[in-house]
């Protein structure tokens, strides 16, 4: 489950929490140098659609416009079978409604013999797209 909330005190910041049943093992194999610490990994990306662009025109937003900060990824407190990812997205300027979206992906690592200086092979097991709409980016505080 993915939850995105606006921060009323920081109008350019979104909070993200992703939780769900997650494997606890077996740990991925391979050389210790390149072996992932957990069986899965969540990745959150901010994507932007150019003005007048269509659904196939989305691309990763430049770091100068938006950044994702991972605050935690691991086991949920007192829930050994529940995984939790928490983080924030911060925009440098107030984003235009419907110009950005969040692409949330979870990958499961596959045991393999890893080549030196190479990422562990993984497969996509969860994906969600959440549009950054007017309700998320409205500025101003309570009336």
> What pLDDT sits at residue 23?
72
Strand pairing class (59-60; 2-7): unpaired
Give the H or E element holding residue 135. Answer: helix 134-137
Domain assignment present for residue 29? The answer is yes
Number of domains the chain contains: 1
Res 100: pLDDT: 94
Q: Does the residue 117 lie in any domain?
A: yes
* Among 47, 3, 41, 45, CA closest to 125: 41
Q: Which domain holds residue 95?
A: 2-137
Domain of residue 29, CATH code: 2.60.40
The predicted structure's pLDDT at residue 35 = 53
Question: Which pLDDT value is given to residue 24?
Answer: 64
Collect the ranges in the chain with pLDDT lower than 50: 33, 141-143
With respect to residue 143, please indicate whether it lies within any of the assigned structural domains.
no
142 domain residue, yes or no:
no
Answer whether residue 22 is part of any domain: yes
Burial per residue of 58-74, b for 16 or more beta-carbon CB atoms within 10 angstroms, e otherwise: beebeeeebebeeeebe
């Amino acid at each position: 489950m993915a939850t995105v909330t606006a921060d009323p005190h920081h109008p350019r910041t979104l909070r993200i929490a992703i939780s769900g049943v997650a494997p606890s093992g077996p740990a991925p194999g391979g050389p210790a140098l390149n072996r992932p610490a957990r069986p899965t990994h969540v990745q959150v990306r901010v994507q932007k659609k150019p003005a007048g662009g269509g659904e196939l025109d989305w691309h990763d937003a430049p770091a100068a416009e938006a950044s994702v900060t991972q605050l935690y990824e691991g086991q949920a407190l007192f829930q050994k079978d529940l995984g939790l990812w928490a983080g924030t997205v911060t925009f440098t300027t107030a984003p235009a409604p419907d110009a950005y979206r969040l692409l949330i992906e979870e990958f499961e690592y596959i045991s393999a013999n890893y080549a030196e200086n190479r990422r562990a092979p993984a497969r996509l097991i969860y994906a969600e797209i959440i549009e950054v709409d007017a309700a998320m980016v409205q500025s101003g505080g309570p009336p």
